Structure 1
Amino acid sequence: MLPSLSALRAFESAARTGSFRAAAELLSVTPTAISHHIRGLEEQLGTKLFKRSGRDVVLTEDGQRLAETAVQAFGMLEDAVRALRRTTRRTVRIAAGPIFTARWLMPRISNFWEQHPGTGLEVVPTYQPGAQDRENVDIVIRWERISEMPEGAVKLLELSPVAIASEAFLTRFGPVETPADLLHMPLLHQRNHWGWLDWFSAMGVRVPDTLRGPVFEDANVLLRGAAEGQGVIVGWLPLIDQDLAEGRVVRLFGEDITPTHGYFLDVRKGSHMRRQTQLAIEWLTAQSTQADFARC
Structure 2
Amino acid sequence: MNWLDRVPFPYLRNFEAAGRTGSFAEAAEELHLSPSAVSHSVRRLEEVIGLRLFHRSARDVELSPEGAVLLEYIQRAMEEMRRGFSILGNDEATPLRLHTAPSFATQWLLPRLSRFVKAYPNIDLRFSASADYGRFENGELDLDIVYGEPKPSPYETVPLVVEGLAPLCSAELAQTIEKPDDLLKHTLIQCDAQRFQWKGWFELNGLTPPVRYGLRFDRSAMAIAAAADGLGVVLESTLLAEREIKSGALVRPLTHVTRELQYIGHYLMYPKRLHYHYAFETFKNWLLSELGLETTEAPAPSSLTRR
Q: How many Å separate the matches in 1 of 2:261 and 2:104?
A: 16
- Structure 1: stretches of 5+ with no match in the other structure: 46-50, 146-151, 292-296
1:93 is aligned to 2:90: no
One-letter amino acid of the structure 2 residue matched with residue 83 of structure 1: E
Q: How many Å separate the matches in 1 of 2:72 and 2:158?
A: 32
The answer to whether the 8 Å contact 1:143/1:261 transfers is no
Q: How many Å separate the matches in 1 of 2:82 and 2:267?
A: 22
Q: How many Å separate the matches in 1 of 2:188 and 2:27?
A: 49
Superposition deviation, residue 73 in structure 1: 8.5
Q: How many Å separate the matches in 1 of 2:38 and 2:276?
A: 43
Deviations 1:58-101 (A, max 9, x none): 99xxxx9xx99999997765443333345557222233223322
Tell me what 2:276 maps to: 274
1:235 is aligned to 2:233: no
Query: Which of 202, 205, 216 is residue 204 of structure 2 equivalent to?
Result: 202
Query: Which of 69, 81, 84 is residue 84 of structure 1 equivalent to?
Result: 81
What's the secondary structure of 2:292's corresponding residue?
helix
User: TM-score of the superposition, structure 2-length normalised?
Assistant: 0.58
1:289 is aligned to 2:286: no
- Measured at CA, do residues 241 and 208 of structure 1 come closer, stay the same or move farther in structure 2, by a change above 3 Å? closer
The 5 Å alignment of 1:2-151 reads 13=18, 37-38=35-36, 56=59, 78-85=75-82, 88=87, 90-127=94-131, 131-135=133-137, 136=139, 137-144=141-148
The answer to whether the 8 Å contact 1:158/1:259 transfers is no
- Measured at CA, do residues 264 and 272 of structure 1 come closer, stay the same or move farther in structure 2, by a change above 3 Å? farther
What's the secondary structure of 2:161's corresponding residue?
strand
What's the secondary structure of 2:281's corresponding residue?
helix
1:160 is aligned to 2:164: yes
- Structure 2: stretches of 5+ with no match in the other structure: 1-9, 44-55, 88-92, 150-155, 295-307
What's the secondary structure of 1:279's corresponding residue?
helix
- Measured at CA, do residues 271 and 186 of structure 1 come closer, stay the same or move farther in structure 2, by a change above 3 Å? farther
CA RMSD of aligned residues (A): 5.1
The answer to whether the 8 Å contact 2:28/2:38 transfers is no
Q: How many Å separate the matches in 2 of 1:265 and 1:155?
A: 5
Which protein shows a greater Rg?
A: 1
Tell me what 2:53 maps to: none
Does 219-228 or 88-97 show the bigger shift? 88-97
Q: How many Å separate the matches in 1 of 2:292 and 2:240?
A: 16
User: TM-score of the superposition, structure 1-length normalised?
Assistant: 0.60
Q: How many Å separate the matches in 2 of 1:183 and 1:141?
A: 35
The answer to whether the 8 Å contact 2:101/2:129 transfers is yes
- Measured at CA, do residues 177 and 84 of structure 1 come closer, stay the same or move farther in structure 2, by a change above 3 Å? same
One-letter amino acid of the structure 2 residue matched with residue 207 of structure 1: P
The answer to whether the 8 Å contact 1:153/1:264 transfers is no
Q: How many Å separate the matches in 2 of 1:263 and 1:40?
A: 45
The answer to whether the 8 Å contact 1:143/1:263 transfers is yes
Deviations 1:116-170 (A, max 9, x none): 4443333321325xx453544333334448xxxxxx97554332222123467x4
What's the secondary structure of 1:124's corresponding residue?
strand
- Measured at CA, do residues 120 and 214 of structure 1 come closer, stay the same or move farther in structure 2, by a change above 3 Å? same
Give the aligned length: 253
Superposition deviation, residue 226 in structure 1: 1.8
Q: How many Å separate the matches in 1 of 2:195 and 2:68?
A: 44
One-letter amino acid of the structure 2 residue matched with residue 122 of structure 1: R
Determine what percentage of the aligned residue pairs are the same residue. Answer: 19
Q: How many Å separate the matches in 2 of 1:263 and 1:207?
A: 23
The answer to whether the 8 Å contact 1:127/1:218 transfers is no
Tell me what 2:7 maps to: none
The answer to whether the 8 Å contact 1:164/1:251 transfers is yes
Tell me what 2:153 maps to: none
Superposition deviation, residue 225 in structure 1: 1.8
The answer to whether the 8 Å contact 1:153/1:266 transfers is yes
What's the secondary structure of 1:273's corresponding residue?
coil
- Measured at CA, do residues 229 and 79 of structure 1 come closer, stay the same or move farther in structure 2, by a change above 3 Å? same
Q: How many Å separate the matches in 2 of 1:143 and 1:94?
A: 14
More helix by share: 1
What's the secondary structure of 2:271's corresponding residue?
coil
Q: How many Å separate the matches in 2 of 1:74 and 1:238?
A: 39
